[in-house]
Structure 1
Amino acid sequence: MLTISTKNKLESNEQFKITRFKPIIKSTKPHKHQGYYELIFIAEGEGFHWIETVNYKILTPDLFFLKPGQLHSWQFTSIPKGYVLMFKEEYIDEIKEIKILQQIKRLGELTRINEWNDQTVEIILEDILQAYKSNLENSEDLIKGYLRVLFAKIEGQAIQKGEITKESPLCDRFLNLLAQHTPIFHKVQDYAQLLQTSPQNLNQSCKKSTGKTASEHIKAQLVLEAKRNILHTEQNVNQIAELLQFNDSSYFVKFFKQHTGETPHQFRNRHFG
């Protein structure tokens, strides 16, 4: 049975890594990343980048920023040139580098910035790569400094496009937890308990930050997980309903249709015929 895999390109003791794209034409199967962010800059190349349920045509220079738990896959049609930068949140010291964490949080749900017009970003990424490879005593200080500049530039581009969301630490923690928690809880109170707050406080925080309640985010995540499994696995409706902790498949079908306007079978057929 085809299932969605979870990849971890960082070794158990690694918190940061940067590489150049391998000069080969390849495609990857849909997968998630476990517990780390991935920033991707494509200077040259053609193809498609599927993130969640959106299939982006690569328009170089192109920049993607994936959060922990997001699903994606590649299908290159020409040799790519660029960089892949990966890091865990704990790599950023929450006291010394709080500004970087704040920059990342302010990016909210930003996934892509195309039509990138700042040529210095490629230079910065190459400098980060050289600092990473040199493994000198001050390499980490250099990398952290470059990251501050890099995310400032990304934030600037995002502000220009009006894609920055309001910051709310509680809601951010909830959304990160929601993206990675398996199985997905269906009730706000379960997440509120994990976050040591009340359901009312969690709902208010998310409403203020994103315009949606925590309950609405949970439903959206359930729909997203359903779509992931419908599109990228061979599991049937009963199996997906069980995976997502629905009491029975008929209720799952009703829930899915209520939020998408079509049944799981209709959704799968529309994409694959």
Structure 2
Amino acid sequence: MPVLTTTEKQVIPTYSLQESSDTGNSMIEIREAGTHCGSFRLDPAFLIPHRKDYYLFVLVKEGHNRHWIDFMPYTVKRDTFYFTVPQQVHLKEYSAPMVGLLACFTDEFLLLEENRVLKQLPIIQNPAGAHELLLNEQDIVFEEDVMRKMLAEFQADGTWRNQMLTSWLRVLVIYLSRLYTEQFSEACFTLNYCMLKSFQTLIGEHYASQHDVAAYAEKLSITPGHLTEVIKQQSGKTAITHIHERLIVEAKRRLLHTELSVKQIADELGFEDAAYFNRFFKRLTDTTPASYREQIREMYS
């Protein structure tokens, strides 16, 4: 695969559901992909590394595309369910016909009072960092039936449309969460687990400006010691490790997908100088940022 980078803007662009939507103002979209039913503009620039600010669920009936989510390649297989969460970096290698059903929805949709319970479900939280679910024949029949009911409701624009869409989406997400916990390790949804997820969410929001545990403990209104204890117990990693790992992921994304200099990346991630960033990166990856960029692009070429 040729390495494709965002050379023009020097940043990884983020596309909203509004930009991909036919209506331009939706929090939820249901579409069918296939040669007989037109196309859904999921990626305004699908061959350029980009992020989506919405959740994407895809039931693939036919197709053999290849794409990347962050640093993992996936070859799309028929009768498989694929899902992504906001802010992952997407890159498609090529465009090819695909037949299937697609559901997209935003964080704004999940924040509505009647939908907040969905936010805590495994398929949404995605603690395993997964991207695909294997389906048996019964799963395929059930999911296609639910998604076609959603599609019919979305296209009809009838009375109580949003309520019907929400109800069917709840059924779909709960069913998928059941499959998720069967195929990946099931998490125990305790208060401490919720604290772990809150901590990870905060890191996602503040990784470029807050690098120390105390800052996050203050946002969670607990002591740094208690936060460290809970995070270690829930994840097997220290709190500072979670912070550092997110910084490394974001650094790797920029090294692979942009032409930003190491100094520019260090600045974007809140490091005082490039030398400190180089030492930090080498300590956690056993290689320098420049060497990593060369190695990863050679691997992807």
TM-score range (shorter-chain normalised) is 0.7 to 0.9
| Aligned-residue offset at 1:186 | 0.8
Instruction: Describe how 1:97-116 pairs up with structure 2 within 5 A.
Output: 97=115, 99-104=117-122, 107-116=126-135
Matched, 1:130 2:152: yes
Match of 1:165 among 167, 184, 187: 187
Question: Relative to structure 1, is the Cα distance of residues 198 and 268 closer, same or farther in structure 2, using a 3 angstrom cutoff?
Answer: same
Tell me the equivalent position of 1:145.
167
Question: Relative to structure 1, is the Cα distance of residues 5 and 134 closer, same or farther in structure 2, using a 3 angstrom cutoff?
Answer: same
Question: Relative to structure 1, is the Cα distance of residues 159 and 270 closer, same or farther in structure 2, using a 3 angstrom cutoff?
Answer: same
Tell me the equivalent position of 1:235.
260
Matched, 1:217 2:242: yes
Any idea what the Cα deviations from partners look like across 1:85-112, whole Å, max 9, x if unmatched? 2223342467544543332456424422
Tell me the equivalent position of 2:93.
75
Instruction: Give, in whole Å, the separation in 1 of the partners of 2:27 and 2:52.
Output: 13
Q: What is the identity, as a one-letter code, of the residue corresponding to 1:164?
A: E
Larger CA deviation: 24-33 vs 38-47: 24-33
Instruction: Give, in whole Å, the separation in 2 of the partners of 1:41 and 1:198.
Output: 44
Q: 1:99, 1:148 within 8 Å by CA — same for their partners in 2?
A: no
SS at match of 2:237: coil
| Aligned-residue offset at 1:77 | 4.9
Any idea what the Cα deviations from partners look like across 1:71-94, whole Å, max 9, x if unmatched? 222234521122332223342467
Instruction: Give, in whole Å, the separation in 2 of the partners of 1:98 and 1:80.
Output: 32
Tell me the equivalent position of 1:199.
224
Q: What is the identity, as a one-letter code, of the residue corresponding to 1:79?
A: P
Q: What is the identity, as a one-letter code, of the residue corresponding to 1:188?
A: V
Name the TM-score, length of structure 2 as normaliser: 0.79
Tell me the equivalent position of 1:59.
77
Instruction: Give, in whole Å, the separation in 1 of the partners of 2:93 and 2:209.
Output: 29
Larger CA deviation: 48-57 vs 164-173: 164-173
Larger CA deviation: 186-195 vs 241-250: 186-195
| Aligned-residue offset at 1:233 | 0.1
Aligned pair count reads: 272
SS at match of 1:10: helix
Question: Relative to structure 1, is the Cα distance of residues 239 and 162 closer, same or farther in structure 2, using a 3 angstrom cutoff?
Answer: same
| Aligned-residue offset at 1:23 | 7.6
Q: 2:58, 2:101 within 8 Å by CA — same for their partners in 1?
A: yes
Match of 2:15 among 7, 26, 29: 7
Larger CA deviation: 20-29 vs 245-254: 20-29
Q: 1:41, 1:83 within 8 Å by CA — same for their partners in 2?
A: yes
Tell me the equivalent position of 2:29.
17
| Aligned-residue offset at 1:239 | 1.1
Instruction: Give, in whole Å, the separation in 1 of the partners of 2:13 and 2:117.
Output: 33
Any idea what the Cα deviations from partners look like across 1:10-31, whole Å, max 9, x if unmatched? 3785322222342899843111
Q: What is the identity, as a one-letter code, of the residue corresponding to 1:251?
A: Y
Q: 2:48, 2:91 within 8 Å by CA — same for their partners in 1?
A: yes
Any idea what the Cα deviations from partners look like across 1:105-136, whole Å, max 9, x if unmatched? 56424422243222121221121122122222
- Superposition RMSD in Å: 2.7
Instruction: Give, in whole Å, the separation in 1 of the partners of 2:297 and 2:129.
Output: 28
Match of 1:226 among 238, 248, 251: 251
Q: 1:68, 1:180 within 8 Å by CA — same for their partners in 2?
A: no
Any idea what the Cα deviations from partners look like across 1:44-88, whole Å, max 9, x if unmatched? 211222111112222223323222222222234521122332223
Instruction: Give, in whole Å, the separation in 2 of the partners of 1:257 and 1:131.
Output: 52
Q: What is the identity, as a one-letter code, of the residue corresponding to 2:26?
A: E
Q: 2:17, 2:106 within 8 Å by CA — same for their partners in 1?
A: no
Question: Relative to structure 1, is the Cα distance of residues 211 and 65 closer, same or farther in structure 2, using a 3 angstrom cutoff?
Answer: farther
Question: Identity across aligned pairs (percent)?
Answer: 27
